[in-house]
């Protein structure tokens, strides 16, 4: 489990989407329901990313060269000994 330090965190009210998700999760009484909701949310956001990337491609803001550059990019941070 993750421990969160709340002392310095700013409290903000939930937005309508967050409130709706909380209501949905209140009906998830077992692991199966939780997994189904998780898969649905994952599919939703994956679809959104796909649509946004298609839009970037159609507008000429993304291309195969950028795909290749990302594949070759080294993003790992070296470990400190």
Q: Give φ, ψ of 59 to 5 degrees.
A: -85, 0
Distance CA 75, CA 47 (A): 25
Q: Is the dihedral of CA 44, 50, 52, 58 positive or negative?
A: negative
Q: Give φ, ψ of 12 to 5 degrees.
A: -130, 145
Distance CA 17, CA 53 (A): 23
**pLDDT per residue as tens digits for the range 11-47:** 889 999 999 989 988 888 899 998 998 999 999 999 9
Predicted TM-score (pTM) of this structure: 0.63
- Of all residues in the chain, the percent with pLDDT exceeding 70 is 88
**Other CB atoms within 10 A of residue 56 CB:** 13
Q: Is the pLDDT of residue 79 over 90?
A: no
Note the pLDDT of residue 2.
46
């Amino acid at each position: 489990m993750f421990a969160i330090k709340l002392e310095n965190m700013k409290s903000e009210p939930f937005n309508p989407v967050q409130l709706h998700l909380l209501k949905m999760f209140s009906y998830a009484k077992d692991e199966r329901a939780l997994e189904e909701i998780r898969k649905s949310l994952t599919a939703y956001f994956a679809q959104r990313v796909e649509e946004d990337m298609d839009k970037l491609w159609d507008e000429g803001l993304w291309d195969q060269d950028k795909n290749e550059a990302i594949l070759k990019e080294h993003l790992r941070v070296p470990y400190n000994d």
